[in-house]
Amino acid sequence: MILVTGATGKSGSEIVKQLSEAGAPVRALVRNSQKAAGLSALAGVEIVEGDLDKPDSLDAALRGVERALLLSAAEPRSVELQGNFIEAARRAGLKHVVKFSGIGADENLPGGFLKWHGQIERQLRESGIPHTNLRPNVFMQELLNSWGGQRTIYLPLGDAKLSVVDIRDIAAVAVKTLTEDGHAGQSYVITGPEALTLDEIAAKISTAIGEPVNYVSISFDDFRQSLAGMQLPEWLASALVELYRTLATDGAQVTDVVAKVGKKQPINFDEFAREHGAKFKGE
């Protein structure tokens, strides 16, 4: 039995779907089973209610489980919440935990999402549980969510390139690492097939929607100020600034993990933009 946490989220739900299609027995851990109607309809998928903040609920959810995917929301408490899961996985004697992390994860960073992922990766390493780290680049779907309907994109990335990746390709890699032997001890940087500047990404969206879309590179100070103007909590604004600092240096790597491990051709940004033209247009 494979337990998937974060199963109601963007990546977790796709991973549950692809595990079901592969015929694997899946248990989806959700905080509220009313949010899991779409998942419970999938073949071979059972739903269990549980919360990473309630360790007792994890012991019950892990009964009979051998392998698990560890994923929760990007937030400061993720280190503590995922730490609870690692402890429960150790108590339950899991054979393999796959940690959903991020490109550039490093506990020595000053702060932010990738520091937290680095700290969790260390906890997992120290737990002694056989494990695999998945380190995806920015999701193509994230661009769709943030930029859908926009015609100008302001980011502090200059001419840096990003190898954005489709969640469906990340899920393909996750499914293989959860269902095959031989992935323990690996950290997989999961990327799209090409690294693109933000000008190139904007041009591709523009072609897909038939209207001009432009990228404007801004300073990190201006980026921080624009986040402050959006009334984001301070921790989130700081985490986003840290994230883009790391992406500016680490975000251009292109790996063959989707092809080699996921055993599929990675989706490129032209295909993605064409498929989602209406949403990029703001319809």
Ligand X SMILES: NC(=O)c1ccc[n+]([C@@H]2O[C@H](COP(=O)([O-])OP(=O)(O)OC[C@H]3O[C@@H](n4cnc5c(N)ncnc54)[C@H](OP(=O)(O)O)[C@@H]3O)[C@@H](O)[C@H]2O)c1
Size of the site for ligand X (CB under 6 A): 26
Binds ligand X (CB under 6 A): choice among 138, 171, 175, 248: 138
Binds ligand X (CB under 6 A): choice among 2, 8, 163, 272: 8
Is the Cβ–Cβ distance between 163 and 108 less than 8 Å? no
Minimum separation from the CB atom of position 214 to ligand X (A): 22
Encoded one letter per residue, x for contact with ligand X by CB under 6 A and - for no contact, window 86-105 reads --------------x-x---
Give 34's DSSP letter.
G
Specify burial of residue 239 (Cβ count, 10 A radius: 0-12, 13-18, 19+). buried
* Residue 12 found at the interface with ligand X (CB under 6 A): yes
CA 219-155-283 angle, 5° bins: 150
Minimum separation from the CB atom of position 201 to ligand X (A): 13
* Beta-strand runs (E) in the chain: 2-4, 26-30, 45-49, 67-70, 96-100, 131-136, 152-155, 161-162, 187-190, 196-197, 214-217
User: How far apart are alpha carbons 166 and 54 in whole angstroms?
Assistant: 32
* Residue 51 found at the interface with ligand X (CB under 6 A): yes
Is the Cβ–Cβ distance between 165 and 195 less than 8 Å? no
For residue 11, the tally of other CB atoms under 10 A from its CB is: 22
Minimum separation from the CB atom of position 51 to ligand X (A): 4
Encoded one letter per residue, x for contact with ligand X by CB under 6 A and - for no contact, window 195-234 reads ----------------------------------------
Give 268's DSSP letter.
P
Binds ligand X (CB under 6 A): choice among 28, 68, 109, 113: 113
Q: In degrees to the nearest 10, what's the CA dihedral of 146, 150, 156, 158?
A: 120
Binds ligand X (CB under 6 A): choice among 28, 65, 69, 71: 71
* Residue 162 found at the interface with ligand X (CB under 6 A): no
Binds ligand X (CB under 6 A): choice among 22, 31, 90, 107: 31
How many contiguous H segments (helices) and E segments (strands) does the chain have? 13, 11
* Residue 6 found at the interface with ligand X (CB under 6 A): yes
User: How far apart are alpha carbons 140 and 153 in whole angstroms?
Assistant: 15
* Residue 56 found at the interface with ligand X (CB under 6 A): no
Specify burial of residue 133 (Cβ count, 10 A radius: 0-12, 13-18, 19+). buried
Binds ligand X (CB under 6 A): choice among 47, 65, 81, 205: 81
* Residue 236 found at the interface with ligand X (CB under 6 A): no
Nearer to ligand X, 181 or 249 (CB): 249
Looking at beta carbons, which residue is closest to ligand X?
Answer: 9
* Residue 35 found at the interface with ligand X (CB under 6 A): yes
Write out the residues near ligand X by the rule CB under 6 A: 5-12, 31-32, 35, 51-53, 71-74, 81, 100, 102, 113, 136, 138-139, 142
